[in-house]
A and B are shown apart, each in its own frame.
Chain A
Amino acid sequence: MANSSLTVANIDAGYGAVRVLEDVSLSVGAGETVALLGTNGNGKSTLMKSIMGIVCPSSGSISAVIDGTTHELVGRSTEEIVDLGIAFVPEGRRLFPKQTVIENLLLGAFRPAARSAIRRNLDFCLETFPRLKERSRQVAGSLSGGEQQMLALARALMSAPRILLIDEPSVGLAPLLVSRTIDKIKELKEGFNLTVLMAEQNFTQAIRIADRGYVIVHGRIAFAGESAEALNNNDLIREFYLGA
């Protein structure tokens, strides 16, 4: 069973003088899939980047429990955080465009803890994404948007993470691909026993696989929905997403 979780407590973060996040707290329990909902510019990405050590919060704490051990993340470098077992699929996918699909996947297994399981994880990824297997010798830059998103997901899983953060998996994809990608995330989560935090604008898609969610507005958590149902019936969601 998954025994890794994430807790963000009262963080403030921003870029220079611009404060983006104010007193944000959230938690992702072991084995949960939590959606972070909000439209553009409300701080979803900044929150993800704060967790990954790309943006340094000015106050507050972020801690992760990995296989029963608690680690404070604030002050650690991105590579240390990934090395703990927290993988991140960033906005824009950030593939290595001149490397082949296989080379990208193998780079995903750079952290020493992932190297022993490399064969098994590679087989799993290629089985889950048959398209990547077909294109394994092709350079990543030549893939279509949907294929790139799959490769980015697969590459993150190659690091054998316990916790997976995904920033806007649906961006730039055709509607059919969006729902397929969301299904794949659920499949991968179950296959790897992951704890997942997913930032998403596409409320209806995200809520299909999320256990619960947070709505972030202007850098503050405006609503914490304890179930998909609660999110569905929330006024903010109705206002922002459902146009009611």
Chain B
Amino acid sequence: MDVSLDLLVNAIVSGLLLGGFYAAVSIGVAISFGMLDIVNIAHPAFILLGSYVAYFANSVLGMDPILAAAIALPAFYLLGMAVYQVYYVAFERRNDQSLRSLAFFFGLLFITEVGLVLAFGVDYRLVEARYIGPSLHFGIIDLPLRLLVPFLVAAAMVVGLQVFLSRSFLGRAIQAVAQDQLALRLMAADPIRIKRIAFGLSFATAAVAGAILIIVQPVEPSIGREYIGRVFAICVLGGLGSFTGMAIAAIILGIVESLTSTFFGPSWAPAVAFGVLLVTLAVRPSGLMGR
């Protein structure tokens, strides 16, 4: 096979941009699964909800999808707090999280999906914005704005949350809450309140990730399922509890998928990406940056 340089470089660049998008999709799960030990498999469905909010605001009101996400953010935050409260009262407080809570989040996944189907139908939907279409060119490198803008938004979100989690009292409590709840209470922090806030944040990221998703590709309600495996794989590969690891894992996965689909065809991409996950975990069982 003839591997031309510009094909290789562009595959890496678009992989990098794709990785940024994956980081935005995964960051909510990095909080809920990585820091709170809550297996919220419904997260991709709420990302889809975010996509449809952006779609609605864009098609009806002509609003920019990212602006729509910013406006929807507080509502997603409150929704996340409410979902955690239900989860807490129904499962966590009674100490039978594992299997039943999985059923709970599966239920949420399907309810959200069906709700979206009823409201918007099963056709693919897309948004319009000035940055969808044109590309920047630097020598042999093509930078499609459709991928670059989501990458920048994702990067800002990951860096912002990382700073919040490592520099603020609330953020440090969120990182510690799953390790020892009594110890956290002895630090004068209410673990339930801390988890509620963290879960709200996790949902708030879905608003942004949803807007980014519908900019990157057209969506239909069940598309979120494609991301469930990928999102959890990214969190495990990066190391649970580490945002930096998660971001690196997202970019590795993006680049590997992009290279594979450029040179071997798109159908190989998931297989190779998960192969990378398995090999990494064999060498480093706690992930790239897991503690």
Which A residues are in CB contact (< 8 Å) with B186? 52, 78, 82, 87-88, 90, 94, 156
CA distance A27 to B183 in the complex (A): 25
Q: B167: nearest residue on chain A (CB-CB)?
A: A106
| Closest A residue to B182 using CB positions | A94
Q: Is the CB of B190 within 8 A of A79?
A: yes
A107 to B189, CA, bound (A): 9
Chain B interface extent, by class: 10 to 19
**Minimal beta-carbon separation of B244 from chain A (angstroms):** 14
- In this assembly, does B179 line the interface, its C-beta being within 8 Å of a C-beta of chain A? yes
Q: Which residues of B contact A95 (CB under 8 A)?
A: 180, 183
Q: Does A108 contact B (CB under 8 A)?
A: yes
Task: Encode A99-141 as 1/0 by CB contact (under 8 A) with B.
Answer: 1000100111111000100000000000000000000000100
State A227–B180 Cα separation when bound (angstroms): 38
Whole-angstrom distance between the Cβ of B32 and the nearest chain A Cβ: 17
Which residue of B has the minimal Cβ distance to A108?
Answer: B187
CB-CB under 8 A from B183, the residues of chain A are 90, 94-96
Asked whether A98 is an interface residue with its Cβ less than 8 Å from the other chain, the reply is: yes
B189 touches A110 (CB 8 A): yes
B138 at the interface (CB under 8 A from A): no
Interface segment out of the listed B168-176, B217-225, B274-282? B168-176
Does A40 belong to the interface (CB within 8 Å)?
no
Additional pairs, 17, CB under 8 Å, beyond known A79-B189, A98-B291: A52-B186, A77-B185, A78-B182, A78-B186, A82-B185, A82-B186, A88-B186, A94-B180, A97-B180, A106-B169, A106-B172, A108-B187, A110-B172, A110-B187, A110-B189, A111-B187, A159-B187
By Cβ-Cβ distance, the 4 closest A-B pairs, closest first, are A111-B188, A94-B183, A82-B188, A78-B185
Which B residues have a C-beta under 8 Å from some C-beta of A? 169, 172-173, 175-176, 179-180, 182-190, 241, 291
